[in-house]
Amino acid sequence: MPGLGRYRGRKVGVLGLARSGLAAARALAAAGAVVLAYDDDGAKLEASGLTGGRPDDVAELALLVPSPGVPLTHPAPHPVIAAAQAAGVPVVGDVQLFVDGLGPANRLIGVTGTNGKSTTSALIHHLLQHAGVRAVLGGNIGRAVFDLGVLPHETALVLELSSYQLDLCQDLRPDVAVWLNMAPDHLDRHGDMDGYLRAKRRLFDQQRPEGIAVVGTDDPLSRAVHAGLVAAGRDARAVAVTHPVEKGAFVRDGVLHEAAAGEAVPVLDLRPLPTLRGAHNHQNAAAAYAALRALGLKGESIVRGFATFPGLPHRMEEVARIGGVRLVNDSKATNPDAAMRSLGAFENVFWIAGGRAKPGGFCDLRPHLGAVRRAFLIGEAAPLIARDLGGLVPCVAAGTLEAALDAALDAASGLGEVTVLLAPACASFDQFRSFEHRGDAFRALARAAAGRAQGA
């Protein structure tokens, strides 16, 4: 793998043996590095077949590669990271190592933000391929970067980048850096909102002067980031769905516009596209368009690909219909900001929410409940959500996802065109392994209910 040869014969530690850690360990070993593996789960270490590292080995490492999920700073560094920092051992993430091996003809597009990263990254990748540009997709979506292999000449790399991954990067140098939005999330990892914001800003801080920034400007924090980049003389292009912009892309009345020199030109009506429903997906679409224009693609070659974008599982995914009832899986709405975006995309909503609460509460959801007929609450956060909604909508304490879906379908029966929406506003870990596990369960339950209704 390009860039890893300098570690041949040298000791390199890999901390955390989940997907990205194992891929990095394999790549380093193939390059001739002496890989020492660390994981708090002894069974994972044994199953990996890698040589386990000892605490005394850390000072001898040429490099430590932690998995993104391993605590770097807050509430305290993992002991292996702390030992490496004390010994002056570089602590670098797998994304940075992979990017170090890119060739001069490889273009890098990095995508971050609190919500919409996966959809926007996948959409950029899809539009590039549809326009005839070779591209691969990785990072916080799909495959670990070291499972992507060696990138061919003139291949674009689209990376979804979480705050955890950005914390472990020092010199990414993206040609185009996309920032979608900013809302409280992962505060248990970053300590506070300032820490979270600093981690995200690293995407812009590590650009070369000629790099182009694409910044969503629909929330106050992101507007401030965009203004700061402009004030610093950077090429920063704005994206919005709540107001026009002078340079970049915006959506007005469902129509995507390109803006340059204060003039706006309509380029695509987004309203007929089922996989890009709602204002939040319109923001994603505008960001993808602006990013590819920044990369030098012509507008007409970009817009042709939108109609064939298949969307992503667990993001506004219509999984079944029962008469006039649409059942939608938005399990990826793991925080209130994501849930309010989902709620704004439908009318007559029977809403399933709950799980494990993140810091910050649910009061911010109150202005976004106009379409909600009733809420069906599950998991640990159910009483907190009911309290914070303040009686604005009727709430049913359903307990489990299955009970919530049954109750929602009963309530929605015979009311015409309505939507039963799973948009939890919470993490999944009280009842499920992941948001994917939760979404898969909802999909299976919804399709089983549709099958029963069809056979009745």
Domain count, the chain: 3
Q: Chain centroid to CA 128: how far?
A: 19
Query: Do 265 and 399 fall within a single domain?
Result: no
Tokens linked to 240: 């919005």
The number of helices, as runs of H, and strands, as runs of E, in the chain is 15, 19
* Spatial distance between the Cα atoms of 179 and 451, rounded to a whole number of angstroms: 41
pLDDT tens across 302-339, in order? 999 999 999 999 999 999 999 999 999 999 999 999 99
Query: Do 155 and 102 fall within a single domain?
Result: yes
Ramachandran angles phi, psi of 44, nearest 5°: -65, -40
Position 185 pLDDT exceeds 80: no
CATH of the domain at 181: 3.40.1190.10
The vertex-369 CA angle with 367 and 375, nearest 5°, equals: 140
**Measured between alpha carbons, how far is residue 356 from residues 139, 359, 403 in Å?**
25, 10, 17
Tokens linked to 289: 């368009």
Q: Please give the average per-residue pLDDT across 14-24, as a whole number.
A: 97
Amino acid letter, residue 444: A
Query: Do 101 and 147 fall within a single domain?
Result: yes
Query: Do 391 and 444 fall within a single domain?
Result: yes
* Spatial distance between the Cα atoms of 325 and 171, rounded to a whole number of angstroms: 49
Predicted pLDDT of residue 187? 64
Ramachandran angles phi, psi of 45, nearest 5°: -60, -45
Q: Which regions of 361-425 does DSSP assign to beta strands (E)?
A: 372-378, 395-399, 418-422
110 within 8 A of 159, measured Cβ to Cβ: yes
Position 256 pLDDT exceeds 80: yes
Query: Residue 77: which pLDDT band, with cuts at 50, 70 and 90?
Result: very high
Query: Do 138 and 256 fall within a single domain?
Result: yes
Query: Do 104 and 84 fall within a single domain?
Result: no
Q: Please give the average per-residue pLDDT across 146-159, as a whole number.
A: 96
N- to C-terminal Cα distance for the chain?
58
Query: Do 327 and 418 fall within a single domain?
Result: yes
Query: Residue 184: which pLDDT band, with cuts at 50, 70 and 90?
Result: confident
Q: What is the pTM of this model?
A: 0.93
pLDDT tens across 400-444, in order? 999 999 999 999 999 999 999 999 999 999 999 999 999 999 999
Select from 42, 67, 92 the last residue of a domain: 92
pLDDT tens across 42-65, in order? 999 999 999 999 999 999 999 999
The vertex-167 CA angle with 433 and 14, nearest 5°, equals: 70
* Spatial distance between the Cα atoms of 158 and 173, rounded to a whole number of angstroms: 13
Query: Residue 143: which pLDDT band, with cuts at 50, 70 and 90?
Result: confident
Tokens linked to 317: 């995914």
When the pLDDT of each residue in the chain is averaged and rounded to a whole number, the result is: 96
CATH of the domain at 54: 3.40.50.720
Containing structural domain, residue 9: 5-92
355 within 8 A of 380, measured Cβ to Cβ: yes
Predicted pLDDT of residue 456? 60
Query: Do 71 and 110 fall within a single domain?
Result: no
Query: Do 418 and 283 fall within a single domain?
Result: no
376 within 8 A of 351, measured Cβ to Cβ: yes
Q: Please give the average per-residue pLDDT across 235-240, as a whole number.
A: 99
Q: Please give the average per-residue pLDDT across 350-356, as a whole number.
A: 99
Predicted pLDDT of residue 455? 79
Position 189 pLDDT exceeds 80: no
Query: Residue 373: which pLDDT band, with cuts at 50, 70 and 90?
Result: very high
Predicted pLDDT of residue 223? 98
427 within 8 A of 437, measured Cβ to Cβ: no
Query: Do 105 and 241 fall within a single domain?
Result: yes
Residue 204's SS3 state is helix
DSSP 116-174: SHHHHHHHHHHHHHHTT--EEEEESSSS-GGGS-SPPTT-EEEEE--HHHHHT-S----
Tokens linked to 446: 């919804």
Percent of the chain with pLDDT over 70: 100
Predicted pLDDT of residue 327? 98
Query: Do 192 and 269 fall within a single domain?
Result: yes
Query: Residue 38: which pLDDT band, with cuts at 50, 70 and 90?
Result: very high
Select from 92, 125, 148 the last residue of a domain: 92
Select from 42, 66, 92 the last residue of a domain: 92
Query: Do 126 and 214 fall within a single domain?
Result: yes
